[in-house]
Structure 1
Amino acid sequence: RLQATGVEIVRGDGPRFLRDVREAFDCVFLDPPFDSDLSPQLLPLLMARLSRNGLVYVESPRPLVPPEGWTAVRSSRAGRVHYQLLGRLYEYGEYGADQRC
């Protein structure tokens, strides 16, 4: 039903995929198993694979403090799920997206 082009859905071992892939992504939907705490492990790997203005949507059971180099563009909660839209910070400390997921 997704009416978009250039979309690739990858289901599998996230850390392995991010170590092996060489392309850059504009938008990543990161939804690891609910209580796995994989997000902190995956975000550093994503840093090298995200386009300059790329965004990462993250779901987690607890509020996620953005690690160094990331900023929360948006965040909220739905029931037990905390979700955030993260962007990379640059040397001047701002996130400057001119595109959206």
Structure 2
Amino acid sequence: MQKKPAKPKAHGAPRLAPRQVRIIGGAWKRVLLPVLDAEGLRPTPDRVRETVFNWINHQLGGDWDQAAFLDLFAGSGALGFEAASRGAASVTMVDNHGPAARQLEANQEKLKAANVRVLRADALTLVTDLGARGQRFDVIFLDPPYQLGLLSQILPLCPAILNEGGLVYAETGEPLPQEGDDIPDWLLGWDAIRADKAGMVYYYLLKLHEKVA
């Protein structure tokens, strides 16, 4: 009699479902939000977010209720909802992918996040429009798809929409050129005041050079 093939051993359920993101701090700490299952959409890992928000908190001096955030290429919304959870005055979340934008809106509704606004828009076009309207932000999140060269296109547009002393968080798949290297034109004028690496992800907190009187 032929034996039935043995069932594969279960390795245990993962700590999180594959398409969920956990808010790690603030009013919605530990809340799980569903994430759209879409190619190239990769939520910023918990450990990276914890580090980044510690950096930002230090720079803001804890004054979250005075800070306006812009989450371009919002994707899963991991960064924007984290900022909103911690009491940001406002968070504008932007994505040009219709299903992703609708998922962001659904999560906003789930959280009843009155300080969050979701826009479906092209990030490059929107930044130009915001600058023309005089809108300014204290922190901008830039976590674009790595392979499209979008960081080099959008970073030079950010000074026009940053408040004085504002911050840009940038996440990349390769290290940014440092001082002493051949720094590309699109990175000129920026200081990396914090930097770290997790796996194949490089992440930075950038600030414009201080102007000398």
Please indicate, yes or no, whether the TM-score normalized by the shorter chain is above 0.5: yes
CA distance in 1, matches of 2:160, 2:189: 11
Aligned to 1:7: 91
Displacement of 1:45 after TM fit? 0.5
**Is residue 2:204 matched to residue 1:84?**
yes
1:90 Cα deviation from its structure 2 partner = 2.5
CA RMSD, Structure 1 to Structure 2 (Å): 1.5
Moved over 4 A (4+): none
Q: Which has the higher helix share?
A: 2
Q: Return the letter of the residue paired with 2:208.
A: R
CA distance in 1 between partners of 2:162 and 2:124 (Å) = 14
| Higher Cα Rg, which structure | 2
Q: Which has the higher contact order (CA 8 A, sep 6+)?
A: 1
Identical pairs, percent = 39
Aligned amino acid, residue 91 of structure 1: K
User: Does residue 1:19 correspond to 2:159, yes or no?
Assistant: no
| Aligned equivalents of 1:64, 1:15: Cα separation in 2 | 20
Per the TM alignment, residue 10 of structure 1 is displaced from its structure 2 partner at its CA by 1.7
- Which of 45, 48, 51 is residue 160 of structure 2 equivalent to? 48
SS at match of 1:86: strand
* Structure 1 gap segments, 5+ residues each: 93-101
Calculate the TM-score normalised by the size of structure 2.
0.41
CA deviation after TM superposition for structure 1 residue 39, in Å? 0.7
Q: How many pairs does the alignment contain?
A: 92
- In the alignment, the residues of structure 1 paired with residue 199 and residue 147 of structure 2 have an alpha-carbon distance, to the nearest angstrom, of 15
> Where do 5+ consecutive residues of structure 2 fail to align?
1-27, 29-83, 97-121, 178-182
Choose from 195, 201, 209 the match for 1:75.
Answer: 195
In 2, distance between residues paired with 1:56 and 1:11? 17
Partner of 1:58, secondary structure, is: strand
What TM-score, normalized to structure 1?
A: 0.82
What amino acid does structure 2 have at the position aligned with 1:25? F
